[in-house]
Structure 1
Amino acid sequence: MARKFFKRYMPDPEKIKSNKSLRFMGTWLHDPNLFHLNRRSASLAFFIGLFVAFLPIPSQMIVAAALAILVRCNLPISVLLVWITNPVTMPAIFYGAYKVGAIILQVPTQDFAFELSLEWLIEEIAKVWQPLLLGSVICGVISGTIGYVVVRATWRFHVITRWKNRKHR
């Protein structure tokens, strides 16, 4: 099932551990749980990756990696899932999160005309940061929870199905 699929595309842990640019991490990358694929590790990695993907912050991959190391779940999956918010999907995702935050805070949504300048960016962020941040956290928690539950349920369903098939054979 998923284990075989993910293992096929997962990077080699030894390559990651021996990477010169990651030496500053020391022995933290030597934890076997960071590369282990089981139901707990994969579902937590999905939660972290999806949650961080909705946060409107730079360096989402670093945040996802730090959380995966802290929680000791699958590092490659959590970092990979952050790429759900890429330059193509980012405007739609963050606009949706902004709308959710504006609805919860009962703030009217701001209309704006795009202008490519630092002053415009600072002015607009000052207007929308509260609904954007609240909506991003709420959407991140909801999507992370959905991802967590779906991975756990799918993994369990697959295991039960394989047990039944083995029993019938």
Structure 2
Amino acid sequence: MRKTLKNTSNHPKLKALIEKYKIPPEYLSTNRKMISRAVLLGLFIAFIPMPFQMLAVLAFIPFFKFNVPLGLAMCWLSNPLTMPPMYYVEYLTGSFVLGMKPEPVEMTLDWFSHNLDNIFIPLYVGASLYSIFGSLLAYWAVNHFWRSSVHRDKKLHRDDR
């Protein structure tokens, strides 16, 4: 993955696009820190049940430097196909943590509009847990595997001499 990102970032068409639209290069940087921050932020937002998740990722641009396209892509973990099971598991987890008995869920808009008061707090408690721990775990994994990849490449390079 590291090599693919490095090769893609040096592509002439991408450089022409950056120059044409005057995109700051740090928003497209493919180093370990920028990639791991993008994964952290994108997944953190992805687990939170809210509309306009991509806009939430973009709202962090003035405060953090991260690879913006990857951050936007990571928030698409929660897409129309994955949202119902993802939010259901978050609701069950939140109910368990709060010691509440989960309501039987029907996957209809009518049911959600009538029961939003009952499921709101358990859903967001579960979402907070998955958001925090899931994004931190992914951040650690990206850093760990990136460093081990660099270490392995350096060792192979030393052994070839």
Q: Match of 1:168, as an amino acid?
A: D
User: What TM-score results when the alignment is normalised by the length of structure 1?
Assistant: 0.82
2:114 counterpart of 1:123: yes
Residues 98, 144 of structure 1: CA spacing in aligned structure 2 closer, same or farther, 3 A cutoff?
same
Task: Compute the displacement of 1:144 (Å).
Answer: 0.4
TM-score (norm 2): 0.86
1:12 aligned partner: 14
Aligned-partner residue type, residue 117 of structure 2: A
Verify the 8 A CA contact 2:5 2:30 in the aligned structure 1.
no
AA of the residue aligned to 2:36: S
Q: CA RMSD in A?
A: 2.5
Partner of 1:23: none
Amino acid at match of 1:97: E
Q: How does 1:3-82 map to 2 (within 5 A)?
A: 3-5=3-5, 8=8, 12=14, 15=17, 30-82=23-75
Check whether the contact 1:69–1:75 (CA below 8 A) recurs between aligned residues.
no
> Does the CA-based 8 Å contact 2:18-2:25 persist in structure 1?
no
1:86 aligns with 2:79: yes
> Aligned pair 1:161/2:148, yes or no?
no
Q: 1:50 to 1:13 in 2, by over 3 A?
A: farther
C-alpha distance in 1, partners of 2:80/2:96?
25
Q: Do structure 1's residue 106 and structure 2's residue 99 form an aligned pair? A: yes
**Counterpart AA for 1:128:** I
Instruction: Give the match for residue 143 of structure 2.
Output: 152
Runs of 4+ in 1 over 4 A off after TM superposition: 16-19
Residue 31 of structure 1 aligns to which amino acid in structure 2?
P
Distance 1:93 1:42 in 2: 24
1:26-71 deviation digits (Å, cap 9, x = unpaired): xxx8432211111111111111111111010001111112224421
Q: Which amino acid aligns with 2:143?
A: R
Judged with a 3 Å threshold, the aligned counterparts in structure 2 of structure 1 residues 13 and 75 are, in CA distance, closer, same or farther, namely farther
C-alpha separation in 2, matches of 1:107 and 1:131: 8
Q: How many pairs were matched up?
A: 158
Q: Hey, what's the Cα distance between the residues in 1 that align with 2:36 and 2:75?
A: 14
- Secondary structure of the corresponding residue to residue 70 of structure 1: coil
